[in-house]
């Protein structure tokens, strides 16, 4: 859970808050609150919480999204006949989860970069690529792939930078920014050759001729 306590305890407290009309939702569904209550809760948290607690909460949130997005992506990209992962029964359930969480997932990638969690942010972006292609959320894909590239450059991960450039090239091509896509692919090719990544090099050289690119994983 986000606050690090047992799930049963948190669910009980959520039901109590719902009974007091401070949040809306139902067990098994998403919970939410009025914008003014959210602002008030944030102000109270900044005054009363230990400074380390919000950072730990963000770490837990990113870990949760990474694990779930990885499982959902694995389900979406599974070959026919492959057994589904435990979290998702089929592609429809994986897509439904992505649909419900899309805005939060894109925001989590951005928050990861802004708070210095560069590796989790880049990995989460990679797990979103196939879904964002599937649903044609191309602006979102361009956003997360740009962030992933910045993150890989920030930590000096040359292999990750090559993969991020491959993904960004695909996103740029899909929104018809062809000159920028070519630059990204050329940079990806050079980096993949530098680090000896023959698969990544082949992807960079081949993607401009493919109609759809699902994205490279780090």
- Model confidence at 116: pLDDT above 80: yes
> If you search the block for the tokens 């098994």, which residue do you land on?
28
* Average pLDDT for 89-96: 92
Residues of the chain with CATH 1.25.40.10: 54-209
DSSP 213: -
Residue 96, token pair as written in the block: 């439904």
**Residue 40's pLDDT is what?**
80
Domain 54-209 in CATH 1.25.40.10? yes
- Please give the full DSSP string across 184-205, using - where no structure is assigned: HHHHHHHHHHHHT-HHHHHHHH
What local confidence, expressed as pLDDT, does residue 98 receive? 97
Tens of pLDDT, residues 144-198: 999 999 999 999 999 999 999 999 999 999 999 999 999 999 999 999 999 998 9
Give the span between the Cα atoms of 141 and 107, in whole angstroms. 12
Given a cut of 70, is residue 210 above it in pLDDT? no
Best CA proximity match to 152, nearest among 181, 124, 129? 124
Which is more confidently placed, 111 or 48? 111
* pLDDT band at residue 28 using 50, 70 and 90 as cut-offs: low
- Mean of the per-residue pLDDT values of the chain: 86
Q: Check whether 211 has a pLDDT greater than 70.
A: no
Contact 112, 142 (CB under 8 A): no
């Amino acid at each position: 859970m986000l606050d690090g306590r047992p799930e049963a305890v948190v669910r009980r407290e959520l039901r109590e808050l719902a009974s007091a009309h401070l949040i809306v939702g139902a067990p098994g569904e998403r919970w939410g609150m009025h914008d003014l209550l959210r602002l008030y809760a944030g102000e109270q948290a900044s005054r009363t919480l230990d400074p380390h607690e919000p950072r730990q909460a963000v770490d837990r949130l990113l870990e949760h999204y990474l694990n779930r997005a990885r499982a959902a992506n694995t389900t979406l990209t599974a070959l026919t006949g492959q057994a589904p992962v435990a979290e998702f029964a089929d592609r429809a359930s994986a897509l439904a989860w992505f649909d419900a969480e899309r805005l939060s997932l894109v925001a989590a990638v951005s928050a990861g970069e802004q708070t210095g969690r560069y590796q989790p942010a880049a990995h989460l972006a990679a797990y979103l690529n196939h879904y964002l292609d599937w649903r044609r959320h191309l602006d979102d894909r361009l956003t997360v792939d740009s962030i992933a590239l910045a993150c890989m450059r920030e930590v000096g991960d040359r292999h990750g930078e090559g993969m991020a450039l491959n993904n960004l090239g695909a996103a740029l091509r899909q929104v018809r920014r062809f000159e920028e896509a070519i630059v990204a692919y050329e940079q990806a090719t050079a980096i993949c050759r530098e680090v000896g990544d023959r698969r990544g090099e082949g992807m960079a050289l081949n993607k401009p001729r493919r109609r759809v690119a699902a994205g490279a994983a780090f």
